[in-house]
Amino acid sequence: LRVIMISAAATGVIAVFAVASILQGLGQIYVETKYGQDTLAMFIRQMDQSVTAVDEEDARQQEEWYVYHGQSMASLLNVHEGFATRETLQRWCDILNIDFVMLFDANGNETLCNRDYSGFTLNKGLGNNSSDFHRLLLGIPSIVHEASTDATTGLERQIIGVTLPMADGAHGALI
């Protein structure tokens, strides 16, 4: 009976140590998993911030690219008045992969467009806050708007405009 009791006690002690070891190991795995989860969440958050920053920089560079080409077009139109034709504007649109180019006089009225658009002014037809483009007539070099939907046409577009120097010293606009 004594041997059985000693064997049972030894088996009980071994079982308690085994269960304690298993529980300790599971606890350690849980803690390491939690730390790994927190680290992974922080890594994902930093990656999202990096992607957002890259996207914003890409959009800014693309806007600068369009402003540069708009200013180049305005310079060419200022030097060579013969370029102010619907065909030339359409060719530029095809090359630069843009929807339309509109020219406006010093009063903010449309004078030429590569498409059959007519009657546009700097007050209507160019999306939200289109009257902001009136500043181009004052000589502001460029204006870049976020994409918006125009109530007149129903089209969602990002509008970028540059000032268009005119022969009499006034300023028009190239949108």
DSSP 15-74: HHHHHHHHHHHHHHHHHHHHHHHHHHHHHHHHHHHHHHHHHHHHHHHHHHHHHHHHHHHH
3-class DSSP assignment, residue 173: strand
pLDDT at 153 over 80: no
Q: What is the pLDDT of residue 168?
A: 81
Confidence at 128, pLDDT banded by 50, 70, 90? low
Residue 78's closest CA among 9, 12, 5, 171?
Answer: 171
pLDDT at 77 over 70: yes
- Across the chain, mean pLDDT equals 88
pLDDT at 149 over 90: no
Q: pLDDT digit string (tens) for 154-166?
A: 778 888 999 998 8
> How crowded is the C-beta side of 146, counted as CA atoms within 13 Å?
1
- In this predicted structure, which of 10-14, 55-59, 92-96, 117-121 has the lowest mean pLDDT? 117-121
Residue 134's closest CA among 109, 113, 115, 100?
Answer: 109
127 sits in which H/E element: none
Q: What is the pLDDT of residue 123?
A: 75
Q: What is the pLDDT of residue 134?
A: 86
- In this predicted structure, which of 2-16, 25-39, 99-113, 129-143 has the lowest mean pLDDT? 129-143
Measured on CA atoms in the order 141, 146, 150, 155, is the torsion positive or negative?
positive
Q: What is the pLDDT of residue 146?
A: 85
Query: For residues 126 and 150, is the Cβ–Cβ distance under 8 A?
Result: yes
Confidence at 131, pLDDT banded by 50, 70, 90? confident
The residues pairing with 165 across neighbouring beta strands, listed in sequence order, are: 171
3-class DSSP assignment, residue 112: strand
Residue 140's closest CA among 156, 173, 163, 123?
Answer: 163
What is the DSSP-derived secondary structure letter of residue 149?
E
